[in-house]
Amino acid sequence: MVKNSKKKEEKPKNSQFKNFIKKRAPIYLAVLAILIIFIVPELTKGDLQSSFPQTLTEEENLVLNSLMSYKGPNDKGLSVMDAISNEINEKYPNEKIYDNKNTQVTVVISNLENENYQVVLDFESYKDDFHYSWDLNKQTGDIKGNNEDSKYIINLVDFYD
């Protein structure tokens, strides 16, 4: 009888943690796979904001941000950034256009005089081009479109409710 009890004692016991992990490993792998397949692409998805050049000065960034965040005279509703993004998404439905190597977003900001700036945004891709040009008074916040596309965006933002 003494020999039987020693054999039982010599046999190592599996830890409860290892058993717990072994039983549930397929579940953890499935959850991890779902995260990688569905969540990660959404987090790394390109958009208009991330396509802006990183070489702008601090002053140019302020001007660009004030233009893109403009929501009309009542400061409610659609912003200029949202309106342009909607236009692009209408032209390229179900496409990751910002990830395409032929897509280029160019922003040029010029100081016209004192607090007046001209902002030119060019979106070029394999299928179509969008060219926008605005005059922005930084002091008053007034924005004027210099071409038809720019005027359309400003009208859309001004009258969107």
Q: What is the pLDDT of residues 70-127, one digit of tens each?
A: 888 888 888 888 888 888 888 888 777 777 778 888 888 888 888 889 999 998 888 8
pLDDT band at 3 (very low <50, low <70, confident <90, very high): low
User: Whole-model pTM?
Assistant: 0.66
The whole-chain average pLDDT of the chain stands at 81
DSSP secondary structure letter of residue 74: T
Can you tell me the distance from the alpha carbon of 156 to that of 161, in angstroms, rounded to the nearest whole number?
10
Can you tell me the distance from the alpha carbon of 86 to that of 32, in angstroms, rounded to the nearest whole number?
33
pLDDT of residue 159: 84
Tokens representing 46 are 């390109």
User: Considering only CA atoms, which of 121, 120, 117 is closest in space to residue 105?
Assistant: 121
* Pairing mode of beta strands 116-124, 129-137: antiparallel
pLDDT, tens digit (0-9, with 9 covering 90-100), for 104-120? 888 888 888 888 899 99
pLDDT of residue 120: 92
Conformation bin of residue 103: beta by default, left when phi > 0, alpha when psi is -120 to 50: beta
Q: Coil, helix or strand for 78?
A: coil
* Pairing mode of beta strands 104-113, 116-124: antiparallel
Write down the domain spans for the chain: 2-42, 47-158
